Structure 1
Amino acid sequence: MVMNESLSQDYTLLKLSSAEGPVYRKVKKQAVRDAHPGEIPVIDISGIFSASLEERQAVATEIHKAATTIGFFYMKNHGIPTSTITAASETARKFFKLPAEEKEPVNVKHVKDYNGWKPPATQRISETESIDVRENFSVRYSPRYDSTIDRDAVIPEEVKKFLPAPDFELPWERVAQLETFKDDTLAHWKACLNLARKLQRAFALSLSLPEDYFDAKTKYPDASLALNYYPTIPTNEADGENVSIGSHTDFQFFTILWQDVVGGLQVLSPAGEWINATPIEGTLVVNIADYLSRITNDKYLSTVHRAKNTSGRERMSMAFFWGFGLNERCAVLPSCVDEAHPAKYEDISCEEWIRKRIEATYVNN
Structure 2
Amino acid sequence: MSTTTTVLDENYWCGNNKINGNFGTNTVSSEDSIVGDFDTIPLIDVAGIFNPDISERKKVAAQLYDACTRVGFFYIENHGISQDLVNAVFDCGKEFFALSFDEKMEIYINNMPNYRGYTPLGGSGSSGPDGQGNANEAFDWGHDAKLNDDPNDEFIDTHMRGDNPWPRQLPHFEAVLSGYYRTLRAFARILARNVALSLDLDESYFEPVLTHPGCSALVAHYPPQKSGSRIFG
Place the TM-score, normalised by the shorter chain, in its bin. Answer: 0.7 to 0.9
- 1: distance between equivalents of 2:166 and 2:82? 27
In 2, are the aligned partners of 1:138 and 1:227 still within 8 Å (CA)? yes
- 1: distance between equivalents of 2:5 and 2:71? 20
2:165 matches 1:170: yes
Report the alpha carbon displacement of residue 151 of structure 1 after superposing the two structures with TM: 2.1
Instruction: Provide the residue aligned with 2:79 in structure 1.
Output: 78
- Cα deviation, 1:1-47, whole Å, max 9, x if unaligned, reads xxxxxxxxxx98631879798343459xxxxxxxxx97111111011
When residues 231 and 194 of structure 1 are mapped into structure 2, their CA distance, relative to the original with a 3 A threshold, is same
Counterparts of residues 264-283 of structure 1 (less than 5 Å): none
In 2, are the aligned partners of 1:143 and 1:220 still within 8 Å (CA)? no
2:158 matches 1:161: yes
Q: Secondary structure at the match of 1:59?
A: helix
Report the alpha carbon displacement of residue 109 of structure 1 after superposing the two structures with TM: 2.7
Instruction: Provide the residue aligned with 1:341 in structure 2.
Output: none
- Cα deviation, 1:95-142, whole Å, max 9, x if unaligned, reads 112221121111113333111001111111488996211111111211
- 1: distance between equivalents of 2:54 and 2:220? 37
Q: What code does the residue aligned with 1:95 have?
A: F
2:115 matches 1:114: yes
Report the alpha carbon displacement of residue 170 of structure 1 after superposing the two structures with TM: 1.8
- 1: distance between equivalents of 2:70 and 2:128? 28
When residues 207 and 218 of structure 1 are mapped into structure 2, their CA distance, relative to the original with a 3 A threshold, is same
| Structure showing greater relative contact order (alpha-carbon pairs closer than 8 Å, 6 or more residues apart) | 1
Q: Secondary structure at the match of 2:215?
A: strand
Q: What code does the residue aligned with 1:42 have?
A: L
- 2: distance between equivalents of 1:111 and 1:172? 13
- Cα deviation, 1:339-358, whole Å, max 9, x if unaligned, reads xxxxxxxxxxxxxxxxxxxx
- Cα deviation, 1:50-86, whole Å, max 9, x if unaligned, reads 1111111111111111112222211111111111100
In 2, are the aligned partners of 1:233 and 1:243 still within 8 Å (CA)? no
Q: Secondary structure at the match of 2:219?
A: strand
- 2: distance between equivalents of 1:26 and 1:15? 12
In 1, are the aligned partners of 2:113 and 2:160 still within 8 Å (CA)? no
Report the alpha carbon displacement of residue 160 of structure 1 after superposing the two structures with TM: 4.3
When residues 75 and 171 of structure 1 are mapped into structure 2, their CA distance, relative to the original with a 3 A threshold, is closer
- Cα deviation, 1:222-280, whole Å, max 9, x if unaligned, reads 1211111112332122xx5x332xxxxxxxxxxxxxxxxxxxxxxxxxxxxxxxxxxxx
Report the structure, 1 or 2, having the larger helix content. 2
Q: What code does the residue aligned with 1:14 have?
A: V
- 1: distance between equivalents of 2:41 and 2:118? 32
- 2: distance between equivalents of 1:127 and 1:59? 42
Q: What code does the residue aligned with 2:146 have?
A: R
Structure 2 alignment gaps of length 5 or more: 20-26
CA RMSD after TM alignment: 3.0
Query: Which residue of 119, 129, 133 maps to 1:131?
Result: 133
Instruction: Provide the residue aligned with 1:151 in structure 2.
Output: 151
2:232 matches 1:235: no
Instruction: Provide the residue aligned with 2:102 in structure 1.
Output: 101
When residues 12 and 78 of structure 1 are mapped into structure 2, their CA distance, relative to the original with a 3 A threshold, is closer
Identity of aligned residues (%): 25
Instruction: Provide the residue aligned with 2:22 in structure 1.
Output: none
Q: Secondary structure at the match of 1:205?
A: helix
2:191 matches 1:184: no
Q: How many residues align?
A: 212
Structure 1 alignment gaps of length 5 or more: 1-10, 28-36, 245-365
Counterparts of residues 1-365 of structure 1 (less than 5 Å): 14-15=7-8, 22=28, 23-25=30-32, 39-125=40-126, 131-146=133-148, 149-153=149-153, 155=154, 159-162=156-159, 164-165=161-162, 168-173=163-168, 176=169, 178-237=170-229, 240=230, 242-244=231-233
When residues 40 and 161 of structure 1 are mapped into structure 2, their CA distance, relative to the original with a 3 A threshold, is same
